[in-house]
């Protein structure tokens, strides 16, 4: 095996590989770019609070009293999970007048693991469009200060889970008047602000969509066509189901995906009468809806989907990357060729995507990226919490000794010293390492985790495979993620 590994090491920087799946083989449909229903009032309200003029003709003259008077305007969008906060923030961000009013726009997803250095770097990268290799926090903040100086910036901090977000805004004091920050969060307590230079506007409290608009949306999601032969029966059941979803778009998308699989009355009745509805905790809790959709998946897709709890929240992934991980983890029936297995795995991926378990995110470098909504991620996690773990610097202490699979998201060399804790994980079988992980940490992992069977390493910053990979005597699969500027460009799988 060590010879084979040597061969792999030699190939590590070769760009082409016959196993690489052709990305042009499966075109994506237009439903990857879904229409947004309603929210016009909320959009107008947000724009007026930010001081964005109604027409871009007047920019440069008197934009708005609100924006002129204040230094840094903070606009919080608050609402329950899945109600559409990120979507509204995106509407604002992409709005034509907003685009011309702000001359610098930056979007970062904060999520539940707040890392000041990483986020500052992401802000810089988003503002410049270039990779930033600075690792010192002071230098990063200095760079950001220079970047925003005299600029009217719109910064979106999506999905905040604590009041730490304020620490990101130090360099913003140099920004020009009218600069603004949009925060999205489920919990208004995270908005609390102690800094003097900020001015927090009234929250936009987002509720579900209006009844009529929501019904139109629900019909589209569930595939309910007026000219279908049993429309009347399905409409009646559909209205009953729809009224329980409280206008939450995520609930319509997920449940609609399940209903549309079979436009027959019995299937719809079964869903309407499912016991899952009784699990509801709070009035607007949509978790039972998400769990219901998961319960209806065939077992092979359940396995593949729940495995995704390995990824960190809001992680962006490609179909081919996940397909190859599934092969590596033996979720795909063995076939005579890897190519055939890839096709099956991609078929699974598309089934899950069509059932709305994966959401289209964007297309960078011609590669389609997907995400799992974080509430759906919670569903995955609740299923595989004893098997899969996403490891970051901060949570290494919480790892259970019985874990089988780990995704090492972020691991600096200092934290890597704590890795000894991981070496005690007797059941650990596999490791997927993200491009954020340091080379030193990877080396330590290869040194200490002698019994792992599946290992996947990133390229990009890591130019070569640590030579001590030969210690891994039980390795059955080695995967290699390719990255350019931290962006995924391919995944090669080597069965050993």
Pick from 5, 21, 39, 105 the residue near ligand ATP by CB under 6 A: 39
Angle between helices 265-272 and 249-259 (to 10 degrees): 140
Does residue 86 interact with Mg ion by CB under 5 A?
yes
Closest CB 71 distance from ligand ATP, rounded Å:
27
CB 431 within 8 A of CB 477: no
Question: Which C-beta is closer to ligand ATP: that of 374 or that of 410?
Answer: 374
Stretch in the footprint of Mg ion (CB under 5 A) among 81-89, 208-216, 320-328, 381-389: 81-89
Question: Which C-beta is closer to ligand ATP: that of 84 or that of 435?
Answer: 84
Angstrom distance (rounded) from CA 403 to CA 406? 8
Stretch in the footprint of ligand ATP (CB under 6 A) among 29-37, 326-334, 389-397, 455-463: 29-37
Question: Which C-beta is closer to ligand ATP: that of 89 or that of 276?
Answer: 89
Contacts of 1 (CB under 8 A, 6+ apart): 473, 475, 496
Give the footprint of ligand ATP on residues 120-179 (CB under 6 A): 159
Nearest to 176 by CA among 71, 313, 253: 71
Question: Which C-beta is closer to ligand ATP: that of 29 or that of 402?
Answer: 29
Angstrom distance (rounded) from CA 212 to CA 205? 20
Q: Which residue's entry shows tokens 């009646």?
A: 236
Pick what 47 binds: ligand ATP, Mg ion, none; C-beta below 5 to 8 Å, kind-dependent. Answer: none
Is residue 29 classed exposed, middle or buried when 0-12, 13-18 and 19+ CB atoms within 10 A define those classes?
A: exposed
* Residue 469, both tokens: 């990979």
Closest CB 119 distance from ligand ATP, rounded Å:
17
Closest CB 374 distance from Mg ion, rounded Å:
7
Does residue 250 interact with ligand ATP by CB under 6 A?
yes
Closest CB 373 distance from Mg ion, rounded Å:
8
Angstrom distance (rounded) from CA 85 to CA 42? 10
The shares of helix, strand and coil residues in the chain, as percent rounded to the nearest 5, are 45, 15, 40
Does residue 51 interact with ligand ATP by CB under 6 A?
no
Closest CB 21 distance from ligand ATP, rounded Å:
26
Pick what 494 binds: Mg ion, ligand ATP, none; C-beta below 5 to 8 Å, kind-dependent. Answer: none
SS3 state of residue 278: helix
Q: H or E element: which one contains 375?
A: helix 374-384
Beta-bridge partners for 369:
362
Angstrom distance (rounded) from CA 372 to CA 114? 19
Question: Which C-beta is closer to Mg ion: that of 82 or that of 466?
Answer: 82
Closest CB 160 distance from ligand ATP, rounded Å:
10
Q: How many residues bind ligand ATP, per CB under 6 A?
A: 25
Closest CB 43 distance from ligand ATP, rounded Å:
10
Give the footprint of Mg ion on residues 151-180 (CB under 5 A): 159
- Torsion, Cα 131 135 141 143, to 10 degrees, reads -50
Binding mask 353-382 for ligand ATP (x = CB under 6 A): ------x-------------xxx-------
Angstrom distance (rounded) from CA 393 to CA 409? 8
Stretch in the footprint of ligand ATP (CB under 6 A) among 15-23, 35-43, 93-101, 481-489: 35-43
SS3 state of residue 421: helix
Closest CB 272 distance from ligand ATP, rounded Å:
22
Angstrom CA distances, 285 to 79, 364, 474, stand at 12, 34, 45
Give the footprint of ligand ATP on residues 198-217 (CB under 6 A): 209, 217
Roughly how many angstroms between the first and final C-alpha of the chain, as a whole number? 7
Pick what 302 binds: ligand ATP, Mg ion, none; C-beta below 5 to 8 Å, kind-dependent. Answer: none
Is residue 231 classed exposed, middle or buried when 0-12, 13-18 and 19+ CB atoms within 10 A define those classes?
A: middle
Pick what 359 binds: ligand ATP, Mg ion, none; C-beta below 5 to 8 Å, kind-dependent. Answer: ligand ATP
Sheet containing 487-495, strands listed edge to edge, beginning at the edge strand earlier in sequence: 388-391, 405-408, 430-433, 454-458, 477-484, 487-495
* Residue 95, both tokens: 């709005």
Does residue 81 interact with ligand ATP by CB under 6 A?
yes
Angle between helices 287-295 and 299-306 (to 10 degrees): 130
Pick from 51, 53, 76, 82 the residue near ligand ATP by CB under 6 A: 82
Does residue 185 interact with Mg ion by CB under 5 A?
no
Stretch in the footprint of Mg ion (CB under 5 A) among 79-87, 226-234, 315-323, 392-400: 79-87
Closest CB 158 distance from Mg ion, rounded Å:
6
Does residue 435 interact with ligand ATP by CB under 6 A?
no
Give the chain's largest Cα–Cα span.
Answer: 71
Q: Which residues bind ligand ATP (CB under 6 A)?
A: 34, 36-39, 79, 81-87, 159, 184, 186, 209, 217, 249-250, 253, 359, 373-375
Residues of this chain that bind Mg ion (CB under 5 A): 85-86, 159
């Amino acid at each position: 095996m060590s010879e084979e590994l040597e061969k792999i090491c030699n190939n590590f920087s070769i760009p082409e590989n016959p196993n690489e799946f052709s990305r042009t083989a499966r075109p994506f449909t237009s439903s990857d770019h879904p229409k947004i229903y309603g929210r016009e009032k909320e959009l107008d309200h947000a724009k007026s609070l930010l001081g964005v003029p109604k027409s871009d003709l007047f920019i440069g003259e008197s934009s708005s009293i609100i924006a002129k008077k204040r230094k840094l305007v903070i606009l919080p969008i608050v609402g329950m999970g899945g109600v559409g906060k990120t979507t509204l923030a995106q509407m604002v961000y992409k709005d034509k007048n907003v685009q011309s009013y702000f001359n610098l726009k930056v979007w970062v997803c904060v999520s539940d693991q707040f890392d000041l250095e990483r986020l500052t770097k992401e802000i810089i990268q988003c503002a410049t469009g270039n990779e930033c290799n600075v690792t010192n926090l002071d230098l990063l903040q200095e760079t950001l200060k220079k970047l925003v100086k005299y600029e009217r910036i719109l910064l979106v901090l999506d999905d905040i889970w604590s009041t730490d977000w304020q620490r990101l805004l130090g360099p913003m004091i140099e920004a020009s008047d009218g600069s603004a920050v949009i925060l999205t969060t489920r919990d208004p307590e995270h908005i609390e602000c102690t800094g003097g230079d900020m001015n927090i506007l009234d929250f936009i409290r987002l509720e579900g969509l209006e009844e009529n608009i929501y019904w139109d949306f629900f019909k589209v999601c569930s595939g309910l066509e007026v000219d279908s032969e049993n429309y009347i029966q399905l409409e009646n059941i559909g209205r009953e189901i729809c009224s329980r979803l409280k206008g939450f778009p995520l609930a319509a998308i997920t449940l609609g995906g399940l209903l549309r699989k079979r436009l027959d009355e019995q299937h719809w009745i079964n869903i309407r009468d499912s016991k899952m509805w009784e699990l509801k905790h709070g009035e607007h809790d949509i978790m039972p809806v998400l769990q219901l959709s998961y319960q209806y998946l065939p077992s092979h897709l359940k396995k593949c989907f729940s495995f995704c709890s390995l990824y960190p929240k809001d992680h962006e992934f490609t179909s081919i990357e996940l397909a190859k991980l599934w092969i590596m983890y033996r979720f795909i029936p063995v076939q005579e060729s890897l190519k055939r297995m890839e096709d099956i795995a991609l078929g699974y991926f598309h089934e899950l995507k069509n059932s709305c378990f994966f959401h289209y995110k964007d297309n960078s470098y011609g590669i389609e990226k997907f995400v799992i909504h974080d509430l759906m991620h919670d569903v995955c996690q609740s299923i595989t919490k004893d098997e899969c773990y996403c490891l970051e610097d901060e949570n290494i202490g919480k790892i259970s000794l019985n874990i089988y699979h780990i995704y090492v998201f972020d691991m600096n060399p200092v934290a890597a010293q704590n890795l000894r804790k991981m070496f005690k994980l007797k059941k650990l079988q596999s490791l997927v390492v993200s491009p954020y992980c340091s080379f030193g940490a990877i080396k330590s992992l290869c040194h200490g985790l002698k019994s792992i069977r599946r290992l996947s390493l990133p390229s990009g910053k890591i130019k070569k495979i640590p030579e001590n990979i030969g210690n891994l005597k039980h390795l059955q699969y080695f995967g290699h993620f390719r990255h350019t500027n931290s962006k995924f460009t391919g995944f090669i799988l080597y069965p050993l």
